[in-house]
């Protein structure tokens, strides 16, 4: 086992890990990140099945999706902080175990309530896994060029996971029962767990202070409320009482979190990180870029299903070129960054996302074929591929090595908030256009009409796009 001598000598460095073990460990870490992010979107194609099998209402469907996203986002900073303090490998393995347990529980849930609870467990496992995995990548690769490539590969798997989730779900549902989309996680996680035991070294911040329980409570509550308000807004309306109340409450709690962290002698999140523009501006760029990426995915999914009449699987397959371009451009992003620099690589990525959205916008009114939107789809994939690796490298690289878990968690929070905002804002704009389609789709599935009134489609067609082919 790598680092088995570590018990005899704490001075053993991660840089002593053999090169081939480092890259093998990266495969394990990327596989884990991939499966966790696939679960962000794989459920969307299964929602109609859940309506039939578990008699889930539209409100319950929303909680099935939201429980994962809320717990995931809420626990991220805590997960990163725990990994820094008590061991990144330890919390990576714990996270994988929790995620696998949650997947089994979800797959065999006999009721909607159990399904919602197990999805929350999966979110908790994901929140422990993601920050730990990125911080281990950051630890393993000390050479700047290697580290940029490794983080690029890790960031690419995040984007790929989001894009291939619906496709994987559609393929599984075509042959197996609905629980298979969760059960498929188990062998992959088991392989990653075993690989991590053998290949991934442990590390932590030996200078970490005492735990920060109040900071943990405030960050969980603040981020959880923020995500809930964002996700709920398209369905209930941005001005609805509960959305405004949750939004204001989240701002108040996050304000209290900032105040607490500023005064604490052992803060969970050092606010000084935000003074470094490589951290704060790169994280903001991620929020804005993922806003466009997830927003584009959302619009294109609706367009392909409702305007072109494709099934969720067929629509997912037509998103595949975006994932392919993202997968090709992401490894090139660090190389481009070395030539033209961080600033221009990130700017090019965002510009490509903007250009792709603009192209699709320009043709969407008259578009009648898939080919009309392909150029924009490819541009958005290219932009995300250029943006995510370099911006992630900047965010994680700007924090001290001992805090890389917290830095990685901050990066993940940016991605979650940006994605949720993109879907919510763009979903709200689209609400009128697809409202009739959604109502018709839900009516065919014996759902109560009331919750659907005025409700736009939510993240990645989670409001039951009806397959037409």
Partner 1 sequence: MSGNEIALAVGAAVALGGVVLVLARLPLRVSRDAPDPQRQTPAIGTRS
Q: Which of 312, 361, 239 is nearest to 465 (CA)?
A: 312
Least distance CB 467 / partner 1 (angstroms): 21
Q: Which is nearer to partner 1, 241 or 365 (CB)?
A: 365
Q: Which of 199, 214, 25, 178 is nearest to 103 (CA)?
A: 178
Give the shortest CB-355-to-partner 1 separation in angstroms.
8
Q: In the complex with partner 1, which residue's Cβ is closer, 69 or 424?
A: 424
Pick 158 or 387: Cβ nearer partner 1: 387
Q: Are 458 and 435 in contact (CB under 8 A)?
A: no
Cα 21 to chain center, whole Å? 27
What is the closest distance, in whole angstroms, from the C-beta atom of residue 326 to partner 1 in the complex? Answer: 15
- Alpha carbon distances (Å) from 446 to 29, 56, 218, 400, 402: 42, 10, 40, 54, 54
Distance (Å, rounded) from C-alpha 466 to C-alpha 469?
Answer: 9
Query: What's the closest the beta carbon of residue 10 comes to partner 1, in angstroms?
Result: 5
| 16 in Cβ contact with 139 (< 8 Å) | no
Minimal distance, residue 12 CB to partner 1, in Å: 5
Tally Cβ neighbours within 10 Å of residue 158. Answer: 26
Overall residue count recorded for the chain in this entry: 469
Tell me which residue of 328, 332, 325, 389 sits closest to 356, measured CA to CA: 325
Tell me the closest approach of the beta carbon of residue 45 to partner 1, in angstroms: 22
Residue 19 or 277: which CB sits closer to partner 1?
A: 277
Taking the least distance from each CB to partner 1, the nearer of 256 and 372 is: 372
Q: How far is the CB of 185 from partner 1 (least distance, A)?
A: 27
Minimum distance from residue 160 beta carbon to partner 1 (Å):
20
In sequence order, what are the residues at sequence separation of 6 or more whose Cβ sits closer than 8 angstroms to the Cβ of residue 321? 374, 377, 378, 381
Nearer to partner 1, 98 or 200 (CB): 200
Distances from the Cα of 367 to the Cαs of 307, 318, 359, 427, in angstroms? Answer: 9, 15, 11, 19
User: CA distances (Å), 379 to each of 25, 320, 386, in order?
Assistant: 31, 13, 11
CB 454 within 8 A of CB 418: no
Looking at residue 199, the DSSP 8-state letter turns out to be H
Tell me 456's DSSP state: P
- How far is C-alpha 334 from the geometric centre of its chain's CA atoms? 21
Q: How far is the CB of 83 from partner 1 (least distance, A)?
A: 12
**CB of 221 or CB of 299, closer to partner 1:** 299
* Shortest Å, Cβ 336 to partner 1: 12
107 versus 350: smaller Cβ distance to partner 1: 350
CB 288 within 8 A of CB 419: no
**C-alpha to C-alpha distance for 255 and 309, rounded to whole angstroms:** 46
Q: How far apart are the first and last CA of the chain?
A: 51
Pick 126 or 235: Cβ nearer partner 1: 235
Cβ closer to partner 1: 248 or 429? 429
């Amino acid at each position: 086992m790598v680092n088995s001598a570590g018990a005899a000598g704490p001075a053993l460095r991660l840089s002593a890990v053999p090169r081939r073990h480092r890259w093998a460990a990266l495969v394990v870490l990327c596989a884990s990140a991939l499966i966790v992010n696939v679960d962000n979107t794989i459920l969307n194609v299964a929602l109609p099945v859940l309506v039939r099998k578990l008699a889930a209402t539209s409100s319950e469907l929303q909680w099935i999706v939201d429980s994962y996203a809320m717990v995931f986002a809420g626990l991220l900073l805590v997960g990163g902080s725990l990994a820094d303090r008590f061991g990144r490998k330890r919390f990576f393995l714990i996270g994988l175990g929790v995620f696998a347990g949650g997947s089994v529980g979800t797959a065999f849930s006999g009721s909607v309530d159990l399904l919602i609870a197990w999805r929350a467990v999966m979110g908790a496992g994901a929140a422990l896994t993601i920050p730990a995995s990125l911080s281990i990548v950051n630890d393993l690769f000390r050479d700047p060029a290697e580290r940029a490539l490794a983080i690029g590969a890790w960031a690419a798997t995040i984007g790929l996971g989001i894009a291939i989730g619906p496709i994987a779900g559609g393929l599984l549902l075509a042959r197996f029962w609905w629980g298979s989309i969760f059960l498929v996680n188990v062998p992959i996680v088991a392989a990653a767990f075993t690989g991590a035991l053998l290949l991934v070294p442990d590390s932590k911040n030996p200078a970490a202070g005492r735990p920060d329980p109040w900071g943990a409570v405030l960050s969980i509550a603040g981020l959880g409320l923020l995500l809930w308000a964002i996700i709920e807004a398209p369905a209930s309306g941005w001005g609805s009482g509960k959305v405004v109340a949750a939004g204001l409450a989240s701002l108040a709690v996050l304000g209290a979190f900032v105040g607490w962290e500023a005064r604490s002698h052992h803060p969970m999140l050092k606010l000084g990180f935000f003074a470094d523009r490589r951290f704060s501006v790169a994280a903001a760029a991620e929020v804005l870029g993922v806003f466009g990426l997830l927003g584009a995915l959302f619009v294109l999914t609706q367009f392909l299903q409702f305007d072109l009449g494709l099934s969720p699987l067929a629509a997912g397959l037509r998103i595949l070129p975006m994932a392919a371009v993202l997968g090709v451009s992401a490894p090139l992003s660090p190389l481009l960054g070395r030539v033209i620099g961080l600033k221009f690589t990130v700017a090019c990525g965002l510009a490509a996302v903007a250009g792709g959205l603009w192209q699709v916008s320009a043709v969407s009114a008259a578009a009648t074929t898939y080919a009309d939107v392909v150029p924009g789809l490819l541009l958005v994939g290219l932009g995300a591929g250029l943006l995510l690796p370099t911006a992630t490298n900047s965010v994680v690289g700007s924090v001290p090595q001992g805090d890389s878990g917290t830095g990685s968690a901050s990066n993940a929070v940016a991605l979650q908030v940006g994605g949720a905002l993109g879907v919510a804002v763009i979903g709200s704009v689209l609400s009128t256009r697809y409202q009739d389609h959604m109502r018709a789709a839900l009516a065919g599935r014996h759902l109560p009409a009331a919750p659907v009134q005025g409700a736009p489609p939510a993240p990645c067609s989670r409001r039951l796009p009806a397959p037409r082919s």
